[in-house]
A = this chain, B = another copy of it.
Amino acid sequence: MTEMDKHIRDSFARQTMMQTFGAEIAQVSEGNVVITAPILPGSRQQHGIAHAALTFAIGDTAAGYAALTKMPSDQEVLTGEIKINLLAPAKGDLLRATGKVIKAGRRLVVVTAEVHAISDGKETLVAILQGTMIPVPT
């Protein structure tokens, strides 16, 4: 495990929300982070599919950690703003969010994320996000 990988996994492990959702970091590389989460019984909206807050949560978190891969190890990131467009119902076994850095500035990092729902091996793009992460000292 690289130092960057460890930095991100340590931070992720302290996010109790991610544990509540059963979310896991699936992949870390420079500028890209993948997070997966099952659609737990307690993560649903009124029609039994994943609540938009779950889709948002892993999309935002994947984008935030993607930004963190570009920061020195004495920095953290906070979400400044982020927008989500929901494309299709998030139903299936699992959601997978892929966060990506578009532009890493000194003061702001612009990011995007895609969220797919995976059902019986079939993938559907269910949301796209576009936002700004703010580097802060740890």
Contact = CB atoms under 8 A, between A and B. Distances in A.
Nearest to A132: B81
Complex copy number for this chain:
4
A83 interface: yes
Q: Dominant SS at the A interface?
A: mixed
Given A44-B17, A46-B76, A102-B125, A84 B86 contact: no
Contacts of A88: 103
A32 interface: no
A84 B78 CA distance: 13
Interface residues of A, number: 48
Contacts of A47: 14, 76
A49 B1 CA distance: 28
Contacts of A103: 87-88, 125
